[in-house]
Amino acid sequence: MTAHTLDELLADGVRGRHVLVRSDLNVPLDGSTVTDDGRVRASLPVISKLAEAGARVIVLAHLGRPKGMPEEKYSLRPAADRLAELASFPVRLAGDVVGPSAQELAAGLGDGEVLVLENVRFDAHETSKIDAEREEFARELAALTGENGAYVDDAFGAVHRKHASVYDIASVLPAYLGELVRAEVEVLKRLTEGAERPYVVVLGGSKVSDKLAVIDNLIGKADRLLVGGGMLFTFLAAQGHKVGSSLLERDQIPTVQAYLERATAAGTEFVLPTDVVVASKFAADADHEVAAADAIEETTFGEAGIGLDIGPDTAKAFANEIEGAKTVFWNGPMGVFEFPAFAAGTKAVAQALADATAAGALTVVGGGDSAAAVRTLGFADSQFGHISTGGGASLEYLEGKELPGLTALGA
């Protein structure tokens, strides 16, 4: 089975046809304010192409994790409003998912107009473990398109979910691969199938348990694995160092020790921090000082000290490793970048990736918190080779897992 592309759909003609587009509008919010519109901007090109070609576009998306029923804090209105601000075509938001509002507005769509359905996860059938329930919901979604509908999956951030609007719908309507999903797959294939060397992977974020499978799959493929973020303390503990009150997954220490031993034989080098920014507490205004990675409890804070960023020497060392690379994948901030006092490590890595991009390297920012961090810290998307819209999906792809949404499309 070979995936059908958006270009094929456009060539067949879409004027006057209803086209369901699964987009990723799962944006971070501060109340009703979108704090990072990267995913909305990334979704716009495919929606625009279809609207400009005369399609009657119905956008499916989720936001957060509502429990199968409407919750105002998870409404797609802020994301839909932002889409409307960026778009050159009319955008409306339905008051429900497949109910009277969605049915009436879908039927009334004109050529080149766009309707965003409310959060698909407001219907419990979207995420049901029971195949028949998801299939029923997929048919209800398809019914909104009338007799000549089509489906385009452009939400890479959701392709690792076996959900009705991602997986089941592709067997109900003629299904096509969106350009955003296609681009993501092409980039990730370059990371997993013969990446140009030296190949450096930078991993951060809070928990090492979230990254174990991808670390396991990258040992022997990447030349160097640079470890920062909260997960670094489990690595330090695995080497026998004390980490104070820093985040520590004690139950993962044996696994990390095994990875460290295996990596050497496989030709992959773990590069761990040599210094850490240690704070008195987890707070933006906390007192802090730099300590050697093996002397965290020797700061003035003693055992109460908590590591919140990689130190300046480590930031320079990581930047040097990135500077010499031909391929770089980064997933997870180096520290608590939301607090200015603990953002220097993440900013140094982002700058190093930007410099590597300018020097001709393939650089990939792996979505999620990493994407939010580079924008928060003042970097432009264009400074990197690719910014993924799918943190979890990107990691699962790099783990070698089969992703249901891609399977359904034949991609």
62 annotated as belonging to a binding site for a ligand: yes
Active site residue 39: yes
Please, which residues have CB within 8 angstroms of residue 151's CB and are 6 or more apart in sequence? 19, 20, 21, 22, 142, 169, 170, 172, 173, 174, 175, 176
User: Could you give the maximum distance between any two Cα atoms of the chain, in Å?
Assistant: 71
Give me the catalytic one of 39, 182, 221, 347: 39
22 annotated as belonging to a binding site for a ligand: no
9 annotated as belonging to a binding site for a ligand: no
338 annotated as belonging to a binding site for a ligand: yes
64 annotated as belonging to a binding site for a ligand: yes
375 annotated as belonging to a binding site for a ligand: no
Active site residue 378: no
**Which tokens belong to 153?**
């999956």
CA distance 76 to 82: 10
CA end-to-end span of the chain: 8
26 annotated as belonging to a binding site for a ligand: yes
User: Residue 333 in contact with residue 210, Cβ under 8 Å?
Assistant: no
Give me the catalytic one of 368, 390, 391, 405: 368
Q: What is the DSSP string of 4-27?
A: PBHHHHHHH--TT-EEEEE-----
25 annotated as belonging to a binding site for a ligand: yes
Q: In a 10 Å sphere around its CB, with 0-12 CB exposed, 13-18 middle and 19+ buried, how is residue 70 labelled?
A: middle
Element (H, E) at 199: strand 199-203
Compute the C-alpha angle 23/28/29, nearest 5°: 120
Please, which residues have CB within 8 angstroms of residue 27's CB and are 6 or more apart in sequence? 34, 35, 36, 37, 38, 39, 40, 63, 78, 79, 82
CA distance 364 to 201: 10
Please, which residues have CB within 8 angstroms of residue 9's CB and are 6 or more apart in sequence? 19, 150, 152, 174, 176
SS3 (DSSP) at 157: helix
Give me the catalytic one of 77, 207, 281, 326: 207
User: Residue 22 in contact with residue 165, Cβ under 8 Å?
Assistant: yes
Active site residue 324: no
Give me the catalytic one of 54, 68, 99, 392: 392
112 annotated as belonging to a binding site for a ligand: no
Q: In a 10 Å sphere around its CB, with 0-12 CB exposed, 13-18 middle and 19+ buried, how is residue 178 labelled?
A: buried
63 annotated as belonging to a binding site for a ligand: yes
368 annotated as belonging to a binding site for a ligand: yes
Active site residue 368: yes
CA distance 307 to 286: 11
CA distance 54 to 9: 12
Annotated binding residues, as ranges?
A: 24-26, 39, 62-65, 121, 161, 211, 307, 338, 367-370
| Residue set of the binding site for ATP | 211, 307, 338, 367-370
- Catalytic residue numbers, as ranges: 39, 207, 368, 392
